[in-house]
Chain A
Amino acid sequence: MARFVLTTKLLAAVSGALMLALVAPGASAADAMPGMAKATRQELGASAVFAPDGSLLVVTKQGEHVMLYRSSDDGKSWSAPTAVNAQPEQISADGENRPKVAFAADGGLLVSWTRPLGKPYSGAIRLARADDGQRFSPPLTVHKDPAEITHRFESLLTTPDNKVILAWIDKRDLEAAKSGKKAYRGAAIYAAVSTDGGRSFQPEHKLADHSCECCRVTSAIDADGAPLFMWRHVFEPNERDHALARLKPDGTVESVQRATFDRWKVDGCPHHGPSLAVDERGVRHAVWFNQKDGAGRGFYGRLAAGSGISVEGQRQVGGPRAAHADMAVAPGKLAIAWKEFDGERTQLRGLMSADGGDSFSEIALAATDGASDQARVVRRQDQLFVFWRTEKEGFRLFPLP
């Protein structure tokens, strides 16, 4: 035991020194190849979006900065990164919680992230905007609530009328219940709306009580333009299925409906959030993870609108270890990507549908030996791609057929 203690202390010292060596000359650390393996486990959480000019933008974390990378050749080479936040601060970039990137309707480039505060589980939702896509204004906190509690796992949605809506997991109601010695199931979802492309935000409001505590939130725009947010919810007594909120044009809640019906009863944290996309015919497609009949599985289904949502065409995504699926749509096609450990390596796989999700063909995309981020499906006009960051290979982009 004593020998072990010495070894880990030594390791800690060595890795600390290596980190210093890597981080100290700020510019050169920032210029390092994205995703190169470091001495200590790196937080790999990254998000990607195509710019109007067709270049690919990626945001991820380097120390206490969100860094923006750009590729004009579909991921073959990357520009020197730009720091989104000039002033250093803590940034979450682990599995379910990562910086997000999107364009406002007026062309402004938006980057959001969760800034962990001092206390465990605490965070503030931050947003920075670059009018010219290059130089970012200082980040602002999108909520008025200054409490050092959970405001985390934000989802960033932009609408054609230049609104920017962020929704996140918020524990203010849980904390209030605790102070009053009352029980409160899960956490809550709050949202803040900007009508000026993300330059300022109206006071936040609650979308729903009783969300799950630490699964990513997803968003999309409904057939008629209404903003949609979907998250893992805690239905009574402890069923961790999903809920879908439809918002009015002003961002307030129109409806919150149960969206999945797998009835996973657990007092625990699945760490596994959903993904939602609405196709050009207005059909809502979702992927999610649930335990059903005792087995944890990835699922795909269409969320048919009505007085209550009914799930159509529910099917399993991948094998028994399929994890963290993401999805996107382009005209005439739908793609799902996920990762799946095969006993030796982590496989990246995809499902493609050309008939609105009635039938799919499965494709193998890549594999890695080391740690990897969740994959994301990204769209450029009529084409879909899978973006994947791995510890060993860095940023990778796979065009889908």
Chain B
Amino acid sequence: MMRRFLPVVLLVAAGSLAAAEFTPLDRAEAQRLLSADKHRQPTVVTLWSSDCGYCKANLKLLSSLTRNNRKLRVITVAAEPENAHLWPMLSRYGLAGPHYAYGSDSPEAIAYAIDPNWGGELPRTFLFDGTGRKERISGVLTAPAIEKATGLRF
């Protein structure tokens, strides 16, 4: 009986911790996060925001790909400060994280550290193959594009 209820209890607990699910991102952390030499396994860093419908399509696709191939690591970055909308939107995709949101640093400094050539459009995704290669894609992702950039098969 207890075992049956345990997941529910965990879900409730996760819900109450929602406000603390995001690591605040500053310019130094952003630079580390986007350095190809810091990623030793195929990794996707995906930028999204509560305002961006296309970002949800990417999160959904990435979520299904991580289930197909556990070697894929997905890091999410909300390009806005943490707020009440973010976790309910993100949690449904069941991505393990880590999950970042813009911290108190200047948003333009964070964006510049992420990618000086990024104009702020979302979704914006950075794909690492784990051996030093990095690709940037604006807009909706496709599985073949992710396979090509990460070297994984789904």
Chain A residues engaging chain B, CB cutoff 8 angstroms = 4-5, 8-9, 12, 40-41, 94, 120-121, 213-214, 266-272, 289, 291, 295-296, 320-321, 323, 339, 341, 343-344, 346, 369-372
Q: Is the CB of B52 within 8 A of A214?
A: yes
* Interface pair B23/A266, CB less than 8 Å apart: no
Q: Judge whether B151 is part of the interface by a CB distance below 8 angstroms.
A: no
Which 4 pairs of residues, A with B, have the shortest CB-CB distance?
Answer: A296-B119, A267-B140, A268-B139, A341-B108
Q: Which of B55, B80, B111 contacts A341 (CB 8 A)?
A: B111
Q: How far is the CA of A271 from the CA of B49 in the complex (A)?
A: 11
Nearest chain A CB to B76 CB, angstrom units: 16
Determine the chain A residues whose CB is within 8 A of the CB of B55 once the complex forms: 269
* CB-defined contacts of A289 to chain B, threshold 8 Å: 119
Partner of A269, one of B51, B81, B102: B51
Considering only residues 92-124 of chain B, those with a C-beta below 8 Å from chain A are: 102, 104, 106-109, 111-112, 116-124
Scan B18-40; emit 1 where CB is below 8 A from any A CB, else 0.
01101110000000000000000
Cβ of A8: which chain B residues have Cβ within 8 Å of it?
Answer: 19-20, 22-24
B122 & A321 in contact (Cβ 8 Å cutoff): no
From A214, A268, A370, B123 is in contact (CB under 8 Å) with A268
Q: Does B53 contact A (CB under 8 A)?
A: yes
Q: Are A272 and B23 in contact (CB under 8 A)?
A: no
Closest to B103 in A: A41
Is B17 part of the contact surface with A, judged by Cβ < 8 Å?
A: yes
CA–CA, A12 to B87, complex, Å?
Answer: 15
- Which of A9, A343, A371 has the most B CB atoms < 10 Å from its CB? A371
Q: Please tell me if the beta carbons of B140 and A268 are within 8 angstroms of each other in the complex.
A: yes
Contact B20 A271 (CB under 8 A): no
A267 to B141, CA, bound (A): 9
Determine whether the beta carbon of A267 is less than 8 Å from that of B112. no
Interface residues of A, dominant DSSP:
loop
Which residues of A are found within 8 Å of B81, using beta-carbon distances? 40-41
What are some 5 contacts across the A-B interface (CB < 8 A)?
Answer: A120-B89, A267-B140, A269-B51, A272-B121, A320-B116
Chain B residues whose C-beta falls within 8 Å of the C-beta of A371 in the assembled complex? 106-108
Bound together, the chains give a CA A379 to CA B60 distance in angstroms of 47
Which A residues are in CB contact (< 8 Å) with B118?
A: 296
B54 touches A271 (CB 8 A): no
CA A38 to CA B20, docked complex, whole Å: 20
Q: Is the CB–CB distance between B121 and A9 below 8 Å?
A: no
CB distance from A313 to the nearest CB of B (A): 22
Smallest CB gap from A39: residue in B: B104
Asked if B50 is at the interface (CB within 8 A of a chain A CB), the reply is yes
Contact status of A341 and B112, CB under 8 A, knowing A320-B117, A323-B120 = yes
* Chain A residue at smallest Cβ distance from B17: A5
B63 CB–A CB distance under 8 Å? no
A9-B19, A121-B51, A213-B53 in contact; A268/B108 too (CB < 8 A)? no
Distance A376 CA – B19 CA, assembled complex (angstroms) = 34
CA of A121 to CA of B107 in the docked complex: distance in angstroms? Answer: 21
Nearest-neighbor residue (CB-CB) of A391 within chain B: B106
Instruction: Check if B85 is an interface residue, CB within 8 A of chain A.
Output: yes
Q: Please name the residue on chain A nearest to B120 by beta carbon.
A: A271
Partner of B120, one of A9, A272, A372: A272
- Say yes or no for B138: interface residue by CB 8 A criterion: yes
Residues of chain A lying within 8 A (CB to CB) of residue B17: 5
In this complex, which of B85, B116, B121 has the most chain A Cβ atoms within 10 angstroms of its Cβ?
B121
> In whole angstroms, how far apart are the Cα atoms of A5 and B22 in the complex?
9
In the complex, A214 Cα to B17 Cα: how many Å?
30
CB contacts (< 8 Å) of A121 on chain B: these are 51, 53
Nearest B residue to A7 via CB reads B20
**Given A120-B50, A120-B89, A213-B53: A346 and B119 interface contact (C-beta under 8 Å):** no
Output the least CB separation between B88 and chain A (Å).
9
Chain A nearest CB from B79 CB (Å) reads 9
Query: Shortest beta-carbon distance, A255 to chain B, in Å?
Result: 29
Binary contact track B41-60/A, C-beta < 8 Å → 1, others 0: 00000000111111101000
A95 to chain B, nearest CB (A): 9
In addition to A270-B121, A323-B120, A341-B112, 16 A-B residue pairs with Cβ atoms within 8 Å of each other are A4-B23, A8-B24, A9-B19, A120-B85, A213-B53, A268-B123, A268-B124, A269-B121, A270-B119, A271-B120, A271-B121, A296-B121, A321-B116, A339-B108, A341-B108, A370-B106
Q: Tell whether, in the assembled complex, residue A296 and residue B117 are in contact, meaning their CB atoms are under 8 Å apart.
A: yes
* B139 in contact with A266 (CB, 8 Å): yes
Query: Closest Cβ of chain A: how far from B117's Cβ, in Å?
Result: 7
Say how far A190's CB is from chain B's closest CB, in angstroms: 19
